[in-house]
Structure 1
C-alpha cells in the first residue's frame, strides 16, 4: 500500500497568508523526503480558511524543492477556466516537473467561487464533463484542432490560424504518454461519477471526510465503469484519504487529534461540519440516511473520522479501515494546519517510517515509503 498526501489546508483566521503558504510548502517538501508517493493540493478562490487559490501555481514552486514525489492538483476546478488553458498549462507543468504531474480534477464545489465567476446558476457538473472531453481531446489530437462535440459549449479549433512552417496554432503535449494520470476526488456516497471515472480510465480518490461505510460504496461503481469499457479494475488505482494523527504517546495523540480545544483536527471538522450543514450535506457524516441532523455532533464526527494514536494503534486502525472498505492501493494522509509544528512533523514521520511498514508487513506487501537517504528496494 502506497502512502500519499492531500491538503485542502484549513488555516485559522488571522494567520498571515504568506506564513500559511510557507507552512503548506514545507509539508509537501517533508512528504518528498519521507518517501510519500504523491501530494494533492486543493484550491478555492473565496475561502478565508482554505487559501490556496490555484493548486498548479502553488505546486510549481515545489518543483525545484522536491525530487521524487508526484505533484498533483487536488483539484483543478474545471468550471473555473477554459479547458484549453487547463490542457496547455498542465502539459507545461508535466515538463517542468520531469513527468511527476498528476491532474486531479473536479467541477468546483464551493458556491461562493461560482458566484464570483458568474456561474452560480450553471450546472458545474455538466461544465466539468464537457471540459474533460476537451482536455483529453487536445492531448490526443494533432493540429489543427477541430473539437466541436454535440452539446459541448466549448468549441476548440486553430484551423484558420494554423501554420506548421511558422509554428503557430499548435499546443504542447504532456511529457508523459499517452497522458498524465487523471484522478477525481469522490465526495458523495454511491457516487455515479465513479462509474464514469472507470469508463474513462480515471482513478478515484475517496475523500477523508466520508465515513468508511460510504467510502466502501465507491469501489463497486468503479468496477462497473471499468467493466463497461471492457477492462478489469485494479485496487492499486483506488486512493482512500483519511485524517490521521500519530504520536509517540497515546495521551498526546488523543489530545491533539481530538480532545483539546486547540486541536487542528477539531478545528478542521468544526469548520467542515458548519459548511456541510449550510450546504445541506450533513448526510456525509450520517451512519444512515434516516439519521436526524441534530444527532450529528462534532465529537461524533471526530470519533468516526479521525484515526489517531501511537504507531501500533494507527496501523491497527488502518488495517481495520481496509476491512471495512475493501482493498485499495493508497492511503492518503490529510494535511491540516500545523498548530504545533513539532507534533505535525513527527506525525508525518511516524506515518511513513513506523505505521506504513507495519501495515504492509501485515498485508504481505512492500515495506512502504523509503525516506530520503534510505535504501531502495528490489
Structure 2
C-alpha cells in the first residue's frame, strides 16, 4: 500500500525588483502558474501586499481568477489574504465566488498582514493586527460554511449576514492560516481545526519551530473539539535547482543580491542569515537549497523527519535566476524530486528489478520460442531460407539438415 502523496507547489509573494517593468512581471507570474500546471504541480498560493514596491499583487483574488482561466488542474490559494484589511463579509463573498468560478480549485490562506507599512497606510495599529485577524477568522469560518452571523466589534459589524450563494466546496472552501515562528498562526489554526501554512520553514528559527507549532495547533484543536490534518499542513522554503551545484550558484547571481536587499533593508524580515558570503550562508543554514535535485530531495526529507510529516512543500518563489533557468528549476523538481515523495516510480523500479532478475530465464524462453518457430518452418518449407547464424544462435535447435 502506498502512503499519501506529498504535494508540491509555490508560494508566490511575488518578489520583483523595482528596476523592471511591473506589467511584464505580473504577466510572467501568470506564465509561471501555467508552467507549473503543465508540469503537474498541485498548488500555487498568491500574496497580498500594498507597499514597498517588490510584492506587486494587491488582489490575489483577481490574479487567481485570471490564472484559473489559463490552467486545468492546479489549485490556487490566497497566500495570504490579510484579514485586518478587509470587511469579513466582502472578503468571504469574493472567496465564495472564486470557489464557484474555479469549481472548487480555490484555497483561502489568511494572516494578519506581513508589512507594517501596509497597515500604517490604512490606520491599523500594528499591535492590533493579530487580534483583528483572530476576530475576523472567527466569523469568516462561519460565513464560508454558509451560516448566518451577527457580530459587532470596534472595526466591523455584521447583522444577520450570510453568503447569498451556497458554498461550492463542502463544508467550506479549504482555509489555511499563516505561521512562522510565533505561535499566533498555530493557535488560530488549532482553534478552528484549519490548515497551517508554515512560512520560512527552512530557516533556522522556522525549522526549529515546526514540531512545537504543530503540537500547539493540535493541543488547541483538541481543546475546541477539533482535529488537525497533517495533509493540510504546508511548509514553505526557497530553492533553485540546476543540473549541477556550480550551475545553480551561477544562475542566482542574476537576482539574489536584489532579493537580499529587499528583505534586509526594506521589509526588515529575518529571512537571510548573516554572513560575508550570502550564498554560503543560505546553503549552510539550510534556509535555501541552491544545488541539484538530489540536494532538494535531501532537504525535503529533513523537513519530513523534523516535522513528523506534512502535506505539501511550497517553493518560495524568488526570481533569483533568469526566466529560462527559473523554469528549468521548476521542471527539475517536477521530474526528479516530486516522484521520490509521491511513490511514482516504486512500481517501475520493482518491475525493472523483477525483469532484470529473471533475465536468464526470460532469455531462454524467448530463444526456445524462436527456435520452435524456426523448426516448424523447416519442417514445412525446408531450410533453404534459414540463415546458418540463426541456427547457431539458437544452439542448433533449428539447425538445417546437412546436404547429402
TM-score range, shorter chain: 0.7 to 0.9
Asked if the contact 2:210/2:307 (under 8 Å) is kept, the reply is: yes
- 1:260-279 to 2 correspondences below 5 Å: 260=253, 262=254, 264-275=255-266, 278=268
CA displacement at 1:336 relative to structure 2: 1.9
What is the CA–CA distance in structure 2 between the aligned matches of 1:196 and 1:93, rounded to whole Å?
24
Within the candidate set 125, 130, 144, 1:120 is matched to 125
Within the candidate set 86, 90, 98, 2:91 is matched to 86
Higher relative contact order (CA 8 A, sep 6+): 1
Within the candidate set 290, 296, 315, 1:333 is matched to 315
Residue matched to 1:374: none
Asked if the contact 2:176/2:232 (under 8 Å) is kept, the reply is: no
From the superposition, tell whether residues 358 and 215 of structure 1 become closer, same or farther in structure 2 (CA, over 3 Å).
same
1:353 maps to 2:346? no
Residue matched to 1:195: 187
Larger Cα-atom Rg: 2
1:312 maps to 2:294? yes
From the superposition, tell whether residues 236 and 266 of structure 1 become closer, same or farther in structure 2 (CA, over 3 Å).
farther
What is the CA–CA distance in structure 2 between the aligned matches of 1:301 and 1:215, rounded to whole Å?
21
From the superposition, tell whether residues 366 and 102 of structure 1 become closer, same or farther in structure 2 (CA, over 3 Å).
farther
1:54 maps to 2:59? yes
TM-score (norm 1): 0.81
* Other structure's SS at 1:75 match: strand
- 1:219-368 to 2 correspondences below 5 Å: 219-257=214-252, 260=253, 262=254, 264-275=255-266, 278=268, 282=270, 298-299=278-279, 301-303=281-283, 304=285, 305-337=287-319, 339-361=321-343
Residue-by-residue CA offset, 1:28-51 (whole Å, 9 max, x unaligned): 111111111111011101121111
CA displacement at 1:321 relative to structure 2: 3.0
Asked if the contact 1:88/1:173 (under 8 Å) is kept, the reply is: no
Which segments of 5 or more consecutive residues in structure 2 lack a partner in the other structure?
1-5, 350-404
CA displacement at 1:198 relative to structure 2: 1.7
CA displacement at 1:267 relative to structure 2: 3.1
Alignment RMSD: 2.8
- 1:109-148 to 2 correspondences below 5 Å: 109-120=114-125, 123-141=128-146, 145-148=148-151
Residue matched to 2:375: none
Residue matched to 2:368: none
What is the CA–CA distance in structure 2 between the aligned matches of 1:196 and 1:366, rounded to whole Å?
43
Deviates more, 1:60-69 or 1:221-230: 221-230
What is the CA–CA distance in structure 2 between the aligned matches of 1:357 and 1:141, rounded to whole Å?
38
TM-score (norm 2): 0.76
CA displacement at 1:141 relative to structure 2: 4.8
